[in-house]
Amino acid sequence: MQISPIANPLLAAVAPSPIAETKGWVLGRTFPAGKPLIDLAQAVPGHPPPESLREHLAGMLRDPSKHGYTPILGIPDLRKTYAEHLSAFYGATIAANEVGITSGCNQAFCLAMMALAKSGDEVILPRPHYFNHDMWLRMLGITPVPLDFRPGSGAVPDAEDAAVLITPRTRAIVLVTPNNPTGAVYPAEIIAAFYRLAQQRGIALVLDETYKDFLPAGTRPHALFGDPDWRRTLVHLYSFSKVFALTGYRCGAITCAAPLMAEVEKAMDCVSICPPRLAQEAALYGLTHLAGWARGNTEALANRAAMFRAGLARSNRWRLVSIGAYFAYVEHPFDGRPSAHVSKWLADEHNLLTIPGSMFGAGQDRFIRFAFANVGDAQVPPIFDRLEQAA
């Protein structure tokens, strides 16, 4: 008789990521030339890294010194350069030892949660949530406490609603802005209100700004780093993956007080010893050479978002809830139909691959997420043609 190891019940109770499920809806299918698949599911850049970066990495591969471990928290030059980038962006002073490089922003979140909370604790998580955040908290035995947005708010949560959810077991509030999955860009005053709440209640504010580079030029999304006391409250997360088209390289960052970083470093050492070396070299090159290239992509994506907004404005059936960065969060017109049924039907009948709102938390069955970053402008009109045909 074959005996299998018994799975950790905390992991076994967590459903897998919805990306694999949605990709499975179209796996192995062929699509007619006149109606090809349009993939609006996973958030990936619709372009590769620039040739200059690829040439730079080719040189790194030939360098014998670039294939070993780096320090646990990353290459010193990258930590210093990223700290300088943050300092300039926010008009503040952030030290290199307050920055750690991670294997993507997902790992930055995982390490932050391991450093901040333990099994039995609670973390307030706005809903709809990025599903990996919810999954990881549950795997650690930490209870995600949902914070719903108010109708008509543009999917922006309210600090007053969060205040009533705080208990003696609460260790942190998580904000993602620009948001995944809704695309909502939280106003500076909203972020400040959550920061003050966290400060007053002695808990952490974990601010995930994976998509900060896709804000309009010159936008400073908040002034939190300008508070001399930010280290007591703020944990900041970031990703190099989207802005430099490095999703497969896995490179992110965490910024926090040095004592908390020491705890993050312990976890990082056990999880992956150090971030991938070539990913760090790619991020360093991006920070020092690709600002103009990245801004051009951001402007192109903003134009695509405007096309999406205009397309939804013309629709008398599909209603825009919020839009920004990579995403549009849309209310579908089919009363009583679960969003998973609607998304699968769009894939089966109209060759549109999306993610249903139900995969981002309970109470989201009215919504569908569209990740428009990985489609070209020419694909936008056919998307709305198909949506209007859907009946």
Q: Where are the domains of the chain?
A: 9-48+293-389, 67-289
The architecture in CATH of the region 9-48+293-389 reads: Alpha-Beta Complex (3.90)
- Same fold across 9-48+293-389 and 67-289: no
Q: Which CATH number fits domain 67-289: 3.50.7.10, 3.20.20.70, 1.10.357.10, 3.40.640.10?
A: 3.40.640.10
pLDDT of amino acid 350: 93
The distance of Cα 108 from the centroid of its chain, to the nearest Å, equals: 11
pLDDT at site 4 = 66
| Stretch 18-31: mean pLDDT | 87
Say which amino acid occupies 343: S
Whole-structure pTM value: 0.94
2 has a pLDDT exceeding 70: no
| Residue 84 pLDDT | 97
pLDDT of residue 90: 95
d(CA 40, CA 379): 11
What tokens appear for 337 in the block? Answer: 């139909």
The DSSP 8-state label assigned to residue 361 in this structure reads -
- The span from the CA of 391 to the CA of 135, in Å, is 34
Chain length of the chain: 391
Confidence of residue 18 (pLDDT cuts 50, 70, 90): confident
Q: For residue 390, name the pLDDT band (cuts at 50, 70, 90).
A: confident
pLDDT digits (tens, 9 = 90+) for 76-98: 999 999 999 999 999 999 999 99
Asked if residues 327 and 183 have their Cβ atoms less than 8 Å apart, the reply is yes
In sign, the C-alpha dihedral spanning 26, 324, 179, 318 is: negative
In the 8-state DSSP scheme, what is residue 175?
A: E
Provide the pLDDT confidence category of residue 366 given band limits of 50, 70 and 90.
very high
